[in-house]
Every structure is written in C-alpha cells, then in structure tokens.
Structure 1
C-alpha cells in the first residue's frame, strides 16, 4: 500500500505544537473528508482548524481495495462483509487491516520525530476509527490522545478474550500485537498504548453504524483497562454532531494539551532545582 496523505500545516503565525492523524471512512477520500470536517462548527461558530491554529492535520488515504461482497474496488482501509454483523467473514478484514496498520504506524513515527510521540493525536471516523484503534492497540506506542467517531471494534471476540484473562497491561499489549504479528518498534517507545486517553462519540440516529456498535467499542476498550470518555447525541447521523460534538472534541483536546503542559512545567522545575 503506497502512502498518500492530504495535509494542512499550522498557520504561519503559530508554531507547530501537535499533529492530528485523522483517518477517513469507507468510500471517502482524504481531501473531501477534511473539507467536510472543517465545515463542522463548535458552539462559538469556530471550526477545529480555527480552534487549534498550531496543529498540523494529516489525513492519510486508504487507497482502493477489492470488495468481496460488491465485486468492485472501493476506497477502504480493509474489506468488510457486513456492518450489521461485523464479525461475519472477519478473515476478509485481516489482510487490509495489517497493511493499513503498518502504513499508519509509519506516519505516526515520522510525525513523532517532529513534535514527540506525546503530541500525536490519532483519530478516525467509521472504518477509519476501526483501523486507527487497532493501530493504537497493536502498535505498542502511547500517543497523546485517541479520538473515535461513529465506529466499532473489529475482531471483537479476540479482543474480548485478551481482556478477559488476568494479565499485566504489558502482557495485554504484547498479546494485542500478536493478533497480526506486527514487528516491534525499531526504537524504544516509552509508555503503554493502553494508557492513551480516549474520546469516543456516536449519534443515536446513526443509520450506517448503529450506536450499539459504538457502545461495544467503548466497553471493549474499558475491559482492556483504558480510560474512555464517551459522548452520545440524539442527532447528527453518521457524522460529527454539531455543535456539541465539536465542542466535546475541542474540550478534550484542550484538556490533553493543558495536562501535557503541566507535566512539562513540573519536569522543568525539577531539573532547575
């Protein structure tokens, strides 16, 4: 899978502080998704692009993959037979997931050389979130935050099995990596991926991915020991709720940024003593 990304760099008047790597959904493309995302407004009428002028936004492209069910090539991160039963013919999902996870990990590592792994926000919507969450779980990299919109948890039964048996977080992380036999990071990455703070949002009137799928994703991550903030909304369909959903994303990111800044300040004060 060749890498292709649509990028929006920080404003010229602001330094680059964080990078958001945001995966589009199935049957979408990165520029179109980015345009629609940045048309969504918070309650103060600002977009995420305006709220975070020092952020770099990276939108990877999934490319085309053959759909076994429809017999055509589609823009998708992995092939899936049914959204009604995401466990049906799940072996068709593995090859695409393996390739996509490897691609996103390379992008994460590259961006981390610019701002640090703790300043990377990994995000996705729908199938993009489903791919991004497996990238996080199996990549053995603790990033600054994870945001998921309108999604589900692929390979749910395998994740449940790993979560059910009593293990240390490190042992769980190694077992998650083993689902796809991914190589270990070339360089030591501090922190556990399972310690990454997570925000999940879902609209109750989502007719593409029912909200019950999102709730199972939330419960699955909690069973793994992750800290998950969950927001559901009465309306918004298969998209970001406006304005509350955009508000919640902005509030979550502001809190993460403040927490990182406080840790850095304490570290600097300690070294100055």
Structure 2
C-alpha cells in the first residue's frame, strides 16, 4: 500500500519505502489532476502482477499537477498544462497553447532542479503521458541537463510545425533548433548557457511508447515525436503496441518501461 507525504498544493509525492536512490517525475495528461492520475497509474501491472512501487522501492515518485486553465473548446476550467484546440491535430491554434506551455515548462524546470539537487540529475527520470509527455519533452530540451532518462507515452511534439519553419544552419542543426524552440516559447536565448551547452541534454536516453488503438492521440503523432527528437540528435527507443488505448499497454508496455528504467538506474 502506498502512502503520501505533505507537499506543495501542486505536487503529489509517493515516498520510497527503502533508502531513496532515484526520483521519477511523472506528468499526467489533460483533464485529470496529479493525485487522481497517480492512483490510476499504480493500479497498472507488469508481468507477474507486479506494480511500479513494488519493483522500485527506492524510487521517490513526484507528480506535479497542472494548473486549472480555461479550455476554449470545452468551455470550462480543467487541469491542463496548456490549452489547445485539438489533441488529434496539435498544431492547430498554437496561439492559445504558448502561454500555458511557457508557464508549465518553467514549473517543471523548478521541480527538475529541486529533485536533481536532492539525488543528482543522473538519478532523476522524467516521464509524461499525453499532454504531460508533450510538456515534459519541452522542459527537458530547454533544461541544459542530462538526466537519467526520459519516457514518453501517447505523446506528441508541441509546436512542431512552427519549429520546422525556422531556418536551420546545416553545420549546427541541433543548436539552431534549440535556439528556435526557446524563441517560440518565449524563453531567453541571448547569452544563455542552455543554448551554448545544450549537448548534455541531448545525451539523455529516451523511450517512447504508443498504442495503435489510441483514439485520443493518433500514433502518427507519436511517430512525428520520434522524428523530431532524432532531428535534435537524440537516441530514441520506440515501442508500439496493438492494444492499450490512451494508456500504457499492460503488461508488455509496462515491462518495457520497467526494463528501460532498471537499465538506466543501474548505470546512473
């Protein structure tokens, strides 16, 4: 049985049950809060009926919570990292996405910095599902930090079409893309060490998963995310599954996540 500890209002934490060795920061999707998501996640099982908390007793699980924002399409307030017109077509109405993206990326960078100070960046893993994946990958790319690993589920690359319109210098394509990304989300670029020393971030190992029957975020969006990250120069492991819906596949998908985390944790 998992327990929780008192935390700031926008963060839900499941503490380790053995000495703290690693931290997993896990971003939920749109329309659910961190506490609800954590409860659902820890019902998922790997092979042999194993749960995440049983497999990783030394992991501190950190679930940042997205702010409640007005959703133009649904005409209501909901927990979302940023507003958007369509998760099926994420490049529509980028104008309503950018304010939330910038605020949420800054929020996650604060969490990443705090957790890295506690155990070291190489022992911190960033994970996100759906819009949480989209937000987490942007936070990683502008962080200027190589962390233990990144896992993205049912996700996409936000602002992809806008980024592709920016001229790229052939001799320094990753740096040009990094600078362009920061400009698009209105983050500083001039004299910023994150632009000149970005290469460490790009060495972060990445695992992406998607299911063919995801009716919320089409798997083609996942393919485009893989392509975008590889264009940044990142090494990406891609796993797709026939079933699982807008969630992780059980047990094979969860087994893949477990294997990825175990290997990277052992080397960190």
TM-score with structure 1 length normalisation? 0.88
SS in 2 for 1:216: helix
Q: Distance in 2 between matches of 1:173 and 1:156?
A: 12
Change (3 A) 1:70 1:145: same
Q: 2:41 aligns with which of 8, 15, 37?
A: 37
2:258 equivalent to 1:247: no
2:182 equivalent to 1:177: yes
Q: 2:14 aligns with which of 5, 8, 15?
A: 8
What's the C-alpha RMSD, in Å, of the aligned pairs?
2.1
Q: Distance in 2 between matches of 1:83 and 1:15?
A: 39
SS in 2 for 1:102: helix
2:237 aligned partner: 229
Can you give the 5+ residue segments of structure 2 that lack an aligned partner in the other structure? 1-7
Give per-residue Cα distances to partners, 1:44-85, cap 9 Å, x unaligned: 211111111100000011021011222211110000001232
Can you give the 5+ residue segments of structure 1 that lack an aligned partner in the other structure? 261-273
CA contact 1:34–1:59 (8 Å) conserved in 2: yes
Aligned residue runs from structure 1 range 1-273, under 5 A: 4-11=10-17, 14-161=18-165, 165-166=169-170, 167=172, 169-183=174-188, 184=192, 192-260=200-268
Change (3 A) 1:244 1:27: same
Deviation of 1:176 after TM superposition, in Å, equals 2.9
1:270 aligned partner: none
